[in-house]
Amino acid sequence: AGKTGTTDRSADTWFMLMHPDLVSGAWIGFNDQRLTFRTSFWGQGAHTALFLVGDYYQRITETDDVSLSDASFPLVEGFGAPEDTTEAEDGGGIGW
């Protein structure tokens, strides 16, 4: 799964990749908010940061030099996975 994002006036753009074995992201932008991307096309995460994250993910999954750990992180009290209350005939629902 992935999520793109932008700020007002296309000053910043980002993309986050969420995979069961890896979470990764990229931010592209400017420290000075007066600077922006020339067009709204380039000010979208789908046209800038997504390609960086996609290339990174493709490269690390094609090599044996990188090992992904099975690290787990404790859940913060009050947070957790939502209960799946769907009854979709196609098997859809919440989860990986």
pTM of the model: 0.63
Total domains in the chain come to 1
> Residue 84 falls within a domain, yes or no?
no
Residue 89 in domain: no
Residue 60 vs residues 27, 51, 73, 93: alpha-carbon distances, Å: 19, 14, 22, 29
Q: Residues 33, 52, 21, CA angle at the centre, nearest 5°?
A: 115
Does residue 13 have a pLDDT over 80? Answer: yes
Instruction: Examine residue 90 and state whether it is found in any structural domain, yes or no.
Output: no
Contact 14, 49 (CB under 8 A): yes
Q: What is the pLDDT of residue 24?
A: 92
Average pLDDT over residues 71-92: 73
Give the structural domain span for 29.
2-61
- 17-74 confidence digits (pLDDT tens): 998 778 899 998 888 877 887 777 777 778 888 999 999 999 888 887 777 777 777 8
85 lies in a domain? no
